[in-house]
A = this chain, B = another copy of it.
Amino acid sequence: MADTSRRRRANGEASRAKILDAATEIASERGYEGTSINLVSKRCGLPASSIYWHFADKDDLIAAVIERSFGQWLSAWSMPDDGTPRDRVAEMTVQVAKALLESPDFLRLGLMLALERRPVEPRAREMYLQVRAQAQIQLREAAMDMSPDLDAAALDQLATYAMAGADGLFIAKEIGGDSVDLLALFDLHGRMVIDAALRLAESTRDEDS
C-alpha cells in the first residue's frame, strides 16, 4: 500500500522520464522537425495531451531532451588531473571517444540542431551551443596547461581544431559504422593535437625572435 501510494506520487516524474526517453530516441534519429508529438506519444505510451502536462510545447520538450542528455554526457567523462600533460591529453581523448560511443544520441541531435538555420531558432539549439561553448573552454584550458607559451589566438585555434576532429570523427563513425575504429582514430587525433600544439609553439617562438 505504501509502495502503491509512493508509486502514484512518483508517477509524475516517471511519466516525464518516459516521455523524455521516447523523445530522445526519436529526436536523435529524425531531428527537430521529424520529432512529432504523436510519435513520441506512441513510443512512450502516454496520450499526446499528457505530454503537454509535462512540457509547455514541442520546443520545451526537445530543449529538455538536450538538457537531460547533457547531464548524462557530462558525467561520462572528466578531466584527469595527474600524470604529464601528454598523458592527461591521451587519457582525456580516450574518455571522450568512449563517451561518444556510449551516448551518441546527444551529439547526433546536437549536431543536427547546430547545422540547422531556421528563422526561429529552437531553444534546444541554443542550449546545445552553450554546452559546446563550455566544452571548448575546457579544451582551451587543457591546451594552455600543455603549452603555456601559446598566445590566445593559438590556443583558440588548437581548441577549435581538437573539437573539430572530435565532431568529424563522430560523424565518420555514424556514417561508417563498424568499419570505423573510433578509438584508434581518436588516439591518432590526440597525438595530432599534441603535435599541433608543439608546431604552434614553435611558430610562436619564431615570430618572437
Residue with the highest number of chain B CB atoms closer than 10 Å, among A117, A181, A195:
A117
Binds B, one of A3-11, A58-66, A75-83, A170-178: A170-178
Q: Which residues of B contact A34 (CB under 8 A)?
A: 31-33, 116, 118
CA distance A116 to B111 in the complex (A): 10
A68 close to chain B: CB less than 8 A = no
A151 close to chain B: CB less than 8 A = no
Binary contact track A121-134/B, C-beta < 8 Å → 1, others 0: 00000000100100
Partner of A195, one of B29, B161, B175, B192: B192
Copies assembled: 4
Partner of A114, one of B117, B167, B171: B171
A199 close to chain B: CB less than 8 A = yes
Binary contact track A162-190/B, C-beta < 8 Å → 1, others 0: 01111111011011100011001100110
A115 close to chain B: CB less than 8 A = yes
A99 close to chain B: CB less than 8 A = no
Q: Which residues of B contact A200 (CB under 8 A)?
A: 188
A191 close to chain B: CB less than 8 A = yes
The distance from the CB of A136 to the nearest CB of chain B, in whole angstroms, is: 9
Binding site secondary structure of chain A: helix
Q: Which residues of B contact A172 (CB under 8 A)?
A: 160, 163-164, 167
The distance from the CB of A73 to the nearest CB of chain B, in whole angstroms, is: 16
Asked, given contacts A33-B30, A163-B168, A180-B160, whether A114 binds B174 with beta carbons under 8 Å apart, the answer is yes
CB <8 Å contact, A31 and B33: yes
Partner of A168, one of B165, B176, B188, B199: B165
Known: A29-B118, A31-B31, A164-B169. 7 other contacts (CB 8 A): A28-B117, A31-B33, A33-B34, A132-B175, A164-B172, A165-B168, A188-B199
